[in-house]
Amino acid sequence: MFFNRYRRGLFITSFLAAPVILYLVYVIAPYIQAFYIAMTDWRGVTATPRFIGLDNFVRLFNDTVFWKAVTHNAALLVLLPLITIVIALFFAFLLNVGGAQGVTGIRGSKFYRVVFFFPQVLAVAVVAVLFQQVFRPDASGMLNGPLMALGLGPVGFLSDTDIAFWSVLGVMVWQAVGFYVVLFSAGLASIPKDMFEAAQIDGASRVSLFFRITLPLLWDTVQTAWVYLGILALDVFAIVWVMTLQHGGPDRSTTVMAAEIYRNAFEHFRFGYASALGVVMFFFTVGFAILSLRLSRRERIEY
């Protein structure tokens, strides 16, 4: 018995050894290296960086640009998941349950799922370049052209410090919502249709169907979506860097932590300071994921 158990343990360990070693080398080791570099003044060219302790973190917390980036990430952290999930839930419910014919969804729902998902297929850089043209501040812009024809433009979607952030948020929602429509549709497909039909027979309205059946039974999926969208909000980079003016908007009106990490590392060659930013961003992301999972924890509903 002992020998069989030993052979089984050895067999499992032999399969796990390679991925664990790769994870330690390519994930954990770079994290440890980043934590060390964050306490140096390394500029990326010297072989032996000078250890300066927590000076980078002290400087970071006195940096007004850093606090602007944190404010924008915090705003995205709240608004991006909230808006995306609300829109995606609405469309998923409409496509799968809220149609005119019982609980079968609207006609052509499969086609609409493909249409909604299409932005997810595009690379982030492609989306950023695309919306640069949409937001152009002249008559050739897709939005400003009609606005100028009506005498209402041009509007500085990317150049106005009061509007640029909302333009970025709108693009992020546009790209993300299709994936979560498909995700919530898959969750709805797993809910027995008998539950919706029984509720309709009892006289439940579509609003009641959504809040009393759909949302409770999709709660685990919504929770997962919230965590993923929150991490996306903290990790956003390409949209801001490619689409906005000056790689962060006028007066840093759209800058985020990831953009400041890149700027400090590869434009100013302050790798130690950039690593300190990365360490702070790492703890923000892990803290958000843990907090979200704890606050949204609830008893699982079986059906």
The string of pLDDT tens digits covering residues 68-119 is 999 999 999 999 999 999 999 988 888 877 554 555 666 777 787 788 888 8
**Exposure class string for 172-183: b at 16+ Cβ within 10 A, else e:** bbebbbbbbbbb
95 shares a domain with 14: no
Residues 239 and 113 in one domain: yes
37 found inside a domain: no
- Alpha-carbon distance of 85 to 232, in angstroms, equals 13
On whether both 21 and 69 belong to a single domain, the answer is no
Calculate the average pLDDT of the chain: 84
- Domain membership of residue 281 (yes or no) is yes
In a domain, 48, yes or no: no
Cis-peptide into 49, omega within 30 deg: no
Q: Give the whole-angstrom CA distance, residue 252 versus residue 72.
A: 10
Whats the size of the chain, residue-wise? 303
Q: Is residue 51 part of a domain?
A: no
Same domain, 95 and 189: yes
Same domain, 101 and 235: yes
CB 243 within 8 A of CB 168: yes
Q: 22 and 68: one domain?
A: no
Q: For 181-213, write each residue's pLDDT tens digit.
A: 989 988 887 777 777 667 767 666 777 777 777
Which residue is listed with tokens 């997962």?
Answer: 224
pTM of the entire structure?
A: 0.84
What is the residue range of 21's domain?
1-27
71 shares a domain with 13: no
Q: Is pLDDT of 6 > 70?
A: no
Per DSSP, the three-state class of 25 is helix
In a domain, 23, yes or no: yes
Identify whether 52 is part of a domain.
Answer: no
Q: Which residues contact 269 (CB under 8 A, 6 or more apart)?
A: 43, 44, 45
Give yes or no: residues 96 and 7 share one domain. no
- Which two three-digit tokens encode residue 202? 């009892």
CB within 8 Å of 189: residues ≥ 6 apart: 96
69 in the same domain as 22: no
Name the burial class of residue 141, with classes exposed (0-12), middle (13-18) and buried (19+) by CB atoms within 10 angstroms of its CB. Answer: buried
Same domain assignment for residues 4 and 134? no
Strand partners, 40: 51
| First-residue to last-residue Cα distance in the chain | 41
Same domain for 3 and 134, yes or no, is no
Average pLDDT for residues 143-158, to the nearest whole number?
86
Say if residues 295 and 223 touch (Cβ distance below 8 Å). Answer: no
Instruction: Catalogue the E-assigned strands of the chain.
Output: none
Return the amino acid letter for 255. T
Same domain, 5 and 73: no
> How many structural domains comprise the chain?
2
- Residue 44 in domain: no
Q: Do 88 and 215 meet the contact criterion of CB atoms below 8 Å apart?
A: no
pLDDT, tens only, 261-276: 999 999 889 999 999 9
